[in-house]
């Protein structure tokens, strides 16, 4: 009987080491889970790319700011009222000024820009989508041609601090982007033109 106890005691350092290694692995898995849940894992699950916040200063119309992202997702912008800046929520057939559109982003809007490389079919799909959205609770949306620096894709979708490039009018992706970046995420979500204004 004494031998069994001795053998058990002789084998216990191995058992303790296994318990320690197992405990460290379990603890590591718990820490990793907490980090992914509450820390850095959120942005990889978001639709689009998070861009640096460039502030929300109002500047005069005589000033045309430069932005780090193309198109802009935040930064200095015009504040003129009367649908000039921020713009009315709608479909535009002529390019709108970028500093005016940034004001719409500040108020929780989505701006869809398309370059000359977008097909007529894609422009029609985007137009229909935006016109439908204007009649819903997600009416804070603008569609505009883009006349700035080429961003390498036919379509860009912007929200405050977020950017999504598209090679075609993927309405499911645009809707997912809109849902992932609601107006409440913007600095002034309750501002901007009223639904149906303009």
pLDDT of the residue at 89: 98
pLDDT digits (tens, 9 = 90+) for 15-38: 676 667 666 666 656 655 544 444
Q: What is the largest CA-CA distance in the chain?
A: 95
Per-residue pLDDT at 9 exceeds 90: no
Q: Are 144 and 176 in contact (CB under 8 A)?
A: no
Say what the alpha-carbon torsion angle 72, 92, 156, 181 is, to the nearest 10 degrees.
70
- pTM for the full model? 0.77
- 3-class secondary-structure state, position 138: coil
User: Between β-strands 162-166 and 77-78, what pairing exists: parallel, antiparallel or unpaired?
Assistant: unpaired
pLDDT number for residue 20: 73
Q: In whole angstroms, give the CA distance from residue 71 to residue 97.
A: 11
Q: How many CA atoms lie within 13 A of 158 on its CB side?
A: 29
Q: With CA atoms as reference, report the closest residue to 195 among 116, 143, 138.
A: 138
| CA separation, residue 110 to residues 7, 15, 30, 188 (Å) | 71, 59, 37, 13
Q: Examine the pLDDT at 11 and tell me if it is beyond 60.
A: no
Tally of CB atoms within 10 A around 56: 17
Q: What is the DSSP letter of 155?
A: E
- H/E stretch holding 58 reads strand 58-59
The answer to whether 23 touches 31, Cβ cutoff 8 Å, is no
Give the whole-angstrom CA distance, residue 74 versus residue 45: 21
- List the one residue out of 184, 178, 160 whose CA is nearest residue 67: 160
pLDDT 10s digits, 53-88 = 999 999 999 999 999 999 999 999 999 888 899 999
């Amino acid at each position: 009987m004494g031998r069994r106890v001795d053998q058990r005691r002789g084998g216990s350092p191995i058992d303790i080491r296994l318990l320690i290694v197992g405990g460290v692995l379990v603890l590591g898995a718990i820490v990793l889970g907490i980090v992914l849940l509450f820390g850095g894992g959120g942005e990889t699950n978001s639709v689009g790319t998070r861009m640096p916040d460039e502030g929300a200063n109002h500047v005069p119309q005589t000033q045309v700011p430069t932005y780090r992202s193309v198109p802009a997702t935040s930064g200095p912008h015009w504040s003129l009222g009367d649908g000039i800046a921020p713009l009315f929520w709608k479909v535009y057939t002529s390019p709108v000024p970028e500093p005016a559109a940034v004001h719409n982003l500040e108020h929780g809007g989505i701006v869809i820009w398309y370059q000359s490389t977008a097909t007529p079919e894609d422009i029609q799909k985007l137009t229909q989508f935006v016109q439908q959205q204007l009649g819903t609770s997600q009416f804070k949306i603008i569609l505009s041609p883009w006349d700035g620096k080429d961003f390498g894709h036919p379509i860009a979708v912007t929200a405050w601090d977020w950017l999504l490039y598209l090679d075609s009018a993927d309405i499911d992706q645009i809707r997912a982007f809109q849902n992932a970046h609601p107006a409440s995420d913007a600095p002034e979500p309750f501002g901007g033109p009223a639904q149906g204004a303009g």
